[in-house]
Amino acid sequence: DGGITQSPKYLFRKEGQNVTLSCEQNLNHDAMYWYRQDPGQGLRLIYYSQIVNDFQKGDIAEGYSVSREKKESFPLTVTSAQKNPTAFYLCASAPGRTEAFFGQGTRLTVV
Amino acid sequence: AQSVTQLDSQVPVFEEAPVELRCNYSSSVSVYLFWYVQYPNQGLQLLLKYLSGSTLVESINGFEAEFNKSQTSFHLRKPSVHISDTAEYFCAVSDEAGGYNKLIFGAGTRLAVHP
Q: What is the pLDDT of residue B11?
A: 97
Percent of chain B at pLDDT exceeding 90: 67
Q: For chain B, what percent of residues have pLDDT higher than 70?
A: 96
In this predicted model, what pLDDT tens digit does every residue of A21-63 receive, in sequence order?
A: 999 999 999 999 999 999 878 899 999 999 999 999 999 999 9
Contact B32 A58 (CB under 8 A): no
What are the pLDDT digits (tens) for B58-77?
888 899 999 998 999 999 99
Q: Largest Cα–Cα distance of chain A, in whole Å? A: 39
Determine the distance in angstroms separating the CA of B42 from the nearest CA of chain A, rounded to an integer.
5
Q: Which pLDDT belongs to residue B28? A: 67
CB nearest A42 (choices: B46, B49, B106): B106
pLDDT at B29 over 70: no
Report cis status (omega within 30 of 0) of the bond before A8: yes
Mean pLDDT of B44-67: 90
Q: Are the beta carbons of A98 and B101 separated by less than 8 Å?
A: no
Judged by CB atoms closer than 8 Å, whether chains meet at B108 and A31 is answered as no
Tell me the mean pLDDT in the region B73-88: 96
pLDDT at site A111: 85
Of B34, B43, B100, the CB nearest to A90: B43
Mean per-residue pLDDT, B28-35: 83
Residues in CB range of B94: below 8 A, 6 or more apart: A97, B2, B31, B32, B33, B34, B101, B102, B103, B104
Count the residues in chain A.
Answer: 111
DSSP designation for B30: S
A23 half-sphere exposure, CB direction, 13 A CA radius: 32
Instruction: Please give the pLDDT value at position A1.
Output: 61
**Whole-angstrom Cα distance, residue B71 to residue B73?**
5
Question: For A62-83, what is each residue's pLDDT tens digit?
Answer: 999 999 999 999 999 999 888 8
